């Protein structure tokens, strides 16, 4: 849809008339000059190797900060990935607690963490949104909560059945097992998130998965449900990222970095040109807005392989918004932010400053709408942007010039300019923020 919205390439304030044949020739000769700036790949690779070594050693020396490491005034709550037997055990304990409470005459009730916005907190040290510790009681013997406590019990029993069979299901499947009770999928979905918080485990640990749309290609070998996948041998289409992260294992890689790509088209260009053979990397895309499976997969790669992550997104507020979802999570999944987020993603491009640096022709730049500008200004208020001075400058310049550009705009210098000049030069100049 956003594709459609941005379809028309407005010639921008200067208008097509301002672009003379001469300026166009200048643009492409500039592209030629940039190509000449490229040093041999061996030099670029040596510098990438240094970046890789730094990432490895800093990951080895510095432990990743956890909520428990911080002395937070407000107690916070987090969930973690747990194996099926441990989750089953926790469910059994929860039900036993309820039974004891009934026997003791205190009645049937669940204690459920609150997931509302007022209970959410951005933690700068962790650079993500987490959930505070507030929770509320959900007694069965109360008209306002009887439905919800019944649904909670039902979802607990369904999840238990799924774990017993060691299978995975979707939220939709869960809903259909008892439409009469749930009435509406939003009700079973909400309680599923409650149950996840209650049990202190991720939704993946409950074996309830979302559908995936991400693909991966490049220097990565892993197992998907026991099958060994070599991502250098996945052609141009790549390997579909599995919906159930707990069946993913044995990650191995000789990559120097992970290249996170916003768009499908850029992914295809990189895969067809086998970019990962020239610069050893893992290339991943969620084809637009990141889905849960791709976010889990990226975090898994980053944590296990300790690779730096470089991002290639459109130069517009939406591209940065996508980065923020990968880095800081989305608000409605804040209780699971530690498993879904990948901190420290570098903004490689396309950045507002690239537009002039690479002399993207005026007619390939798009005029930002008022809504775009507002989105840009809103981002300037976000903590994750404020923390990075470079990002603030870029974003300020985007809002000031009111110009945006897609990754595809680089095609104006040739279809393979992205893989042959732009990215190698970026890597050579360590041009990321």
Which of residues 36 and 180 has its CB atom nearest to its own copies in the complex?
Answer: 180
Helix (H, G, I), strand (E, B) or coil at 128: strand
Nearest approach in angstroms of CB 74 to its own copies is 35
Cα→Cα distances 423→24, 283, 358, Å? 22, 13, 12
Q: Are strands 281-285 and 257-261 parallel, antiparallel or unpaired?
A: parallel
Which of residues 121 and 234 has its CB atom nearest to its own copies in the complex?
Answer: 234
Which of residues 119 and 244 has its CB atom nearest to its own copies in the complex?
Answer: 244
Write the DSSP symbol of residue 276: H
Closest by CA position to 64, among listed 382, 384, 388, 339: 339
309/176 Cα distance (integer angstroms): 39
84 near 207, Cβ under 8 Å?
yes
Flag whether 381 is marked binding. Answer: no
Nearest approach in angstroms of CB 55 to its own copies is 27
Write the DSSP symbol of residue 201: B
Torsion, Cα of 368, 369, 371, 373 (10° steps): 40
Which of residues 229 and 375 has its CB atom nearest to its own copies in the complex?
Answer: 229
272/89 Cα distance (integer angstroms): 48
Residues designated catalytic: 176
Which of residues 48 and 174 has its CB atom nearest to its own copies in the complex?
Answer: 174
Nearest approach in angstroms of CB 403 to its own copies is 13
110/139 Cα distance (integer angstroms): 6
Nearest approach in angstroms of CB 401 to its own copies is 18
302/220 Cα distance (integer angstroms): 12
67/31 Cα distance (integer angstroms): 48
Nearest approach in angstroms of CB 166 to its own copies is 10
Q: Which residues partner with 76 through β-bridges?
A: 132
Cα→Cα distances 398→92, 306, 395, 408, Å? 54, 32, 5, 18
Write the DSSP symbol of residue 315: B
Which of residues 113 and 214 has its CB atom nearest to its own copies in the complex?
Answer: 214
Q: Which residues partner with 135 through β-bridges?
A: 113
Flag whether 314 is marked binding. Answer: yes
330/325 Cα distance (integer angstroms): 6
Which helix or strand (DSSP H or E) is residue 161 part of?
helix 146-165
CB atoms within 10 A of CB 368: 21
Write the DSSP symbol of residue 140: S
Which of residues 11 and 139 has its CB atom nearest to its own copies in the complex?
Answer: 11
Nearest approach in angstroms of CB 3 to its own copies is 8
366 near 6, Cβ under 8 Å?
yes
Binding site per annotation, positions: 262, 314
Binding site per annotation, positions for Mg(2+): 262, 314
């Amino acid at each position: 849809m956003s594709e459609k919205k941005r379809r028309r390439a407005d010639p921008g304030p200067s208008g097509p008339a301002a672009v003379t044949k001469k300026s166009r020739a200048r643009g492409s000769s500039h592209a030629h000059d940039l190509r000449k700036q490229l040093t041999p790949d061996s030099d670029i690779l040596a510098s990438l190797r240094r970046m890789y070594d730094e990432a490895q050693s800093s990951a080895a020396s510095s432990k990743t900060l956890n909520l428990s490491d911080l002395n937070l005034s407000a107690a916070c709550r987090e969930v973690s990935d747990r194996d099926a037997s441990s989750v089953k055990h926790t469910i059994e304990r929860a039900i036993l607690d309820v039974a004891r409470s009934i026997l003791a005459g205190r009645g049937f009730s669940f204690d459920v963490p609150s997931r509302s916005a007022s209970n959410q907190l951005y933690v700068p040290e962790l650079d993500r949104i987490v959930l505070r510790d507030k929770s509320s009681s959900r007694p069965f013997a109360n008209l306002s909560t009887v439905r919800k406590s019944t649904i909670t019990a039902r979802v607990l029993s369904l999840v238990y059945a799924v774990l017993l069979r060691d299978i995975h299901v979707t939220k939709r499947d869960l809903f259909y097992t008892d439409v009469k009770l749930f009435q509406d999928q939003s009700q079973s979905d909400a309680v599923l998130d409650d149950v996840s918080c209650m049990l202190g485990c991720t939704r993946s640990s409950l074996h309830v998965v979302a559908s995936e749309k991400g693909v991966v290609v490049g220097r990565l070998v892993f197992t998907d449900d026991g099958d060994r996948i070599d991502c250098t041998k996945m052609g141009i289409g790549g390997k579909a990222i599995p919906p159930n992260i707990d069946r993913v294992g044995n990650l191995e890689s000789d990559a120097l970095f992970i290249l996170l790509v916003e768009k499908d088209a850029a992914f295809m260009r990189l895969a067809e040109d086998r970019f990962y053979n020239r610069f050893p990397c893992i290339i991943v895309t969620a084809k637009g807005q990141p889905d849960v499976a791709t976010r889990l997969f990226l975090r898994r790669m980053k944590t296990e392989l300790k690779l730096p992550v470089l991002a290639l997104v459109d130069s517009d507020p939406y591209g940065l918004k996508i980065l923020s979802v990968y880095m800081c999570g989305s608000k409605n999944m804040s209780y699971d932010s530690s498993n879904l987020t990948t901190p420290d993603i570098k903004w490689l491009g396309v950045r507002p400053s690239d537009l002039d640096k690479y002399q993207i022709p005026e007619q390939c730049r798009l005029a930002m709408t008022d809504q775009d500008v507002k989105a840009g200004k809103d981002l300037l208020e976000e903590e994750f942007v404020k923390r990075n001075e470079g990002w603030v400058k870029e974003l300020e310049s985007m809002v000031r010039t009111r110009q945006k550009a897609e990754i595809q705009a680089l095609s104006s210098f040739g279809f393979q300019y992205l893989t042959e000049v732009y990215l190698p030069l970026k890597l050579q100049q360590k041009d990321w923020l």
